[in-house]
Structure 1
């Protein structure tokens, strides 16, 4: 009998919250993928309901000329609330700004919804749901960060701390060297994007293996440590992590204190990418 996938629970065990998917050979077949997606979205909302730092994310959607839809996480400047940032973006003419609690798309238009995959969290760390790099024939996904930035942004140092993670390999490369064949590449840019209430942003087209782009805002006078933290924050998004609710992580939203990930960020990456070994 065909197996049916269904969302069963939001689990908490050993510090890890999981939106769980189970199968049953005796279950009635479920053919409506949109119903599955709606159920999974509801479970994810339940998991994040008491976690405003994680759930109140500023998302902006956009569509390229070829029809590809992208989702951008905008990370607010220090002292700026997500609501203030959404308002500033809209007043600045940015379209596609989602309301608080509104979930971004997880697939491309007309793209068939694949098998729904659990969205993980561990301790205070959370996954950017539906964003995972594939293995590409390696035991760990290979992610190269192509640096287009000035010396103010310590991309190399941030890549090094993320490469301490087990499960996914991060590499630094100056952009003129290009993207190595068969590897994933993230372009990291800086620029004077304006006093528009955000320090950094990361863009990923859902349902794809990229492109992923990081932008770092030069329009604010930041300390060296703040440059380091913002860089670490955006590179974490590019590895498929969402926000961390602990101030000891560079992925804490709205505060820029820690220079590196915390233990929960590293532990979560091990669970998102469990086939470590390269």
Structure 2
């Protein structure tokens, strides 16, 4: 599935602007004119990883994304002070397998393309399809334009993204990501994405309603977390919604779109 033509797209450096996109069924925001990419190193945008356990006792790895004005180090400190365990130090590599596995899986190559980075060792399988099929089961509040961000991510080749209501069941033979929002408090984070390493899920996204955000900022955060769920880490360019700590772009950038078919290289359906 791919988007139909866009009819409006304009933006300015440092300004978030809501824009519109037309499809055959309804209007969605479109890609704004990208702000110039900011020069940044990976170390400037280090990822906040937290390890934990799901209800079945499996190891999980979660990426926490800081609220505006909160640095990754400040978020780590706030999480620890609030009682969150398993917060990894800056530069510490999260585990890529379950500790009770008798044989350790071979680590996957960690890929990059330009300013885009893969979430290392997190990758969907193909099942019976030529592209992994990812269904986002969305039960977030109306403030979060998850459906618009799913539409943007579905522009990528190599992996297909679809939106379904959170009240729907997961279709057979595909992968599902649960998306929820809630008033989680002034926790220092706006969004988080959890994955069970060396598995095909469960993967979940949580969006924090406790912070006052503009419509464009809600769009950026939703796009950001969905990108993590597709196996992408932070992008070092402000032209991508996966840039960490700044709210400029509402959409993925060209490098995000180039990286996904490297991660998922089979011919698309």
* Normalised-by-shorter TM-score class: 0.7 to 0.9
1:65 CA displacement: 4.8
RMSD: 1.0
Distance (whole Å) between structure 2 residues aligned to residue 65 and residue 189 of structure 1 = 17
1:256 CA displacement: 1.4
Distance (whole Å) between structure 1 residues aligned to residue 67 and residue 267 of structure 2 = 35
Q: Quick check: which has more Rg, 1 or 2? A: 1
Contact 1:58/1:73 (8 A) holds in 2: yes
| TM-score, normalised relative to structure 2 | 0.83
**Correspondences of 1:17-96 after superposition (within 5 Å):** 51-54=42-45, 56-96=46-86
Distance (whole Å) between structure 2 residues aligned to residue 252 and residue 74 of structure 1 = 13
1:113 CA displacement: 1.6
1:276 CA displacement: 2.8
Is there any run of 5+ residues in structure 1 with no aligned partner, and where?
Answer: 1-49
Contact 1:85/1:197 (8 A) holds in 2: yes
| TM-score, normalised relative to structure 1 | 0.80
Q: Is 2:243 aligned against 1:252?
A: yes
Q: Is 2:113 aligned against 1:122?
A: yes
Q: Is 2:138 aligned against 1:147?
A: yes
Moved over 3 A (4+): none
**Correspondences of 1:179-190 after superposition (within 5 Å):** 179-190=170-181
Q: Normalized per residue, which structure has more strand?
A: 1
- Deviations, residues 3-23 of structure 1 (Å, cap 9, x unaligned): xxxxxxxxxxxxxxxxxxxxx
Residues paired across the two proteins, number: 228
Match of 1:109 in 2: 99
1:79 CA displacement: 1.2
SS at match of 2:150: helix
- Deviations, residues 201-242 of structure 1 (Å, cap 9, x unaligned): 000010100000000000000000000000000000000000
Match of 1:224 in 2: 215
Is there any run of 5+ residues in structure 2 with no aligned partner, and where?
Answer: 1-40
SS at match of 1:186: strand
Distance (whole Å) between structure 1 residues aligned to residue 141 and residue 163 of structure 2 = 14
Match of 1:36 in 2: none
Q: Normalized per residue, which structure has more helix?
A: 1
